[in-house]
Each structure stands twice: as C-alpha cells, then as structure tokens.
Amino acid sequence: MTYTKKDFITYAHRGASEYCPENTMMSFYMGMQMGANGIETDVQKTKDGVLVLFHDDTIERVTGESGSIADYTLEELQNFFVKKGKLQDKIPTFEDFLSHFAFRDITFAIELKVGGIEAEVVDMIRKYGIEEKTVITSFELDYIKRSLEYAPDIRIGYLTKDIEQPTIDMLVELGAYEVCPIGREVTPEKVAAWHEAGLNVRAWGIFNEDIMKAVYDAGADGMTVNFPDLLLKYISEEN
C-alpha cells in the first residue's frame, strides 16, 4: 500500500456541520462547496423500515422533539427539522443522499449507528455502484463484522479509542481496510506502524485546529472534520 499526501481525504463530518444542520442535504452541499473530497454520515432505520441519515440515539438535541428515529415513520419524521442556529433542513433518506452524491468524485464513510441494517446498507451502496469509494464503519465491532460476512469485498473501518496492538492485530486478521482512531491519539509513529500493518488511517474526534494539524502532519490518510474549510486551508498552506 502506497500513501501520498495527494490521496488525503477531507471528510465533511455530517457535512459541514460546524456551519449547517448536521447530516442534512444543506450540510453535505456546503461541505462540497468548501472543497471536501469526502463525506462522513450516519445511518439509522425508521419505524417503517426506511434508511435515513441521523447520528444521535434520540432526535431531541438537533430537532427539539422527543423519541428516537425508530419511533417514527419517515412521513412523521418529515414534519421535524434539524436545526443549527437560524438554519434548518429535513432528515434525508440514505437513498436520496446517494442520488445526489454517489456520482461525484468523492469518498464516503458510512457509519452504522444501529444493528440489523448491514445488508440493506451494503445493497444500497451496490445499487449506486460506490463500493470502491466507500468505507462502512462503526464503533460496534459486530456491525462491521456482519457487513463483511454479507459482502466480503466491502471495505470496513473500525471507529475506536482502543488502538493497542491486539486491536490492530484483530483488524488485520479480520481483513479490515481502515483503523479510525480518535484524533488526540494519532502520532507519526503510530500512523507508520498502522500503515506497515496494511491499514488505512482515518481519524475522528477533531475537536479543534491543533488536533487537526497534528493528525495531518502525522501522515494520516484522512480525517472527519466539522470545518472542512479550515482543514483545506491548512493543507493548501502546507503544500
């Protein structure tokens, strides 16, 4: 595996979520407008079985409403708005998102937030022909294992705070494509070791610009950021 800076992926984390309602079409388009070459988003399932993009276990933080995604049908969810300051937008379906973005020259990080949707997510990815530019990720190891069992050719990544050697060995044995460590744990030495093991490295938890710069300088292959404009500005300055 050969790694070069030109291959670095700036993932708009839930879109450009520093500026727009997260995981909405508005946020994804803002990320693209800023120049991000990747999108990270989260998939859950409605009461009536539709895959939608939403992060939290409950909808209260971003909509002000009670309950979870699984408590509502898609039609009911369309009565709510995801908000950020004075901006608001609807909760999109996974398929609507792909119909707008699958054809673009970008990389996708699709995080499974609930179990039991692995096959449906893979099928949707296949429907839009983006297997080679998508990584299915989760903090739940079982979710990505089931994804791989269903589709042995799919790329998977493990979101984790545990980056000790047994975890790396397990990912290598599993055939994972990517390790996704929290940003503050990323160092040049660790990145070099993970690359040596054959793993791509994408960081999450980029809470400020100092962590952002440190992860990029450490040689990671990508990171998810709420503020892709600031990362792209830094990359431009460094190159």
- Locate 143 and state its tokens: 């979710």
Is 77 among the domain residues?
A: yes
Asked whether residue 2 is domain-assigned, the answer is: no
- 79: number of Cβ within 10 Å: 10
pLDDT for the residue 6 = 60
pTM of the model: 0.96
Q: What is the CATH number of the domain that holds 32?
A: 3.20.20.190
Query: Residue 21 in contact with residue 12, Cβ under 8 Å?
Result: no
Select from 225, 221, 205 the least CA-distant residue to 159: 205
Pull the structure tokens for residue 2. 């050969």
CA gap 177, 172 in Å, rounded: 8
Helices (H) and strands (E) in the chain, counts: 10, 11
Show pLDDT as tens, one digit a residue, over the chain (239 residues): 344 456 899 999 999 999 999 999 999 999 999 999 999 999 999 999 999 999 999 999 999 999 999 999 999 999 999 999 999 999 999 999 999 999 999 999 999 999 999 999 999 999 999 999 999 999 999 999 999 999 999 999 999 999 999 999 999 999 999 999 999 999 999 999 999 999 999 999 999 999 999 999 999 999 999 999 999 999 999 88
Q: What angle do CA 104, 107, 109 make, to 5 degrees?
A: 130
Q: Is residue 71 in a domain?
A: yes
pLDDT of residue 2: 41
Of 156, 191, 182, the residue nearest 171 (C-alpha): 156
Residue 1 lies in a domain: no
Q: What span, in angstroms and rounded, lies between the C-alpha atoms of 174 and 196? A: 16
| Range(s) of the domain holding residue 74 | 9-238
Max distance between CA atoms of the chain, in angstroms, equals 49
28-36: Cβ within 8 A, 24+ apart: 28/97, 28/100, 28/101, 31/228, 32/101, 32/104, 32/106, 34/228, 34/229, 34/232, 35/10, 35/228, 35/229, 35/232, 36/10, 36/11, 36/12, 36/106, 36/228, 36/232
**pLDDT recorded at residue 129:** 98
Whether 3 is in a domain gets the answer no
Structural domain tally of the chain?
Answer: 1
In a domain, 26, yes or no: yes
pLDDT of residue 1: 39
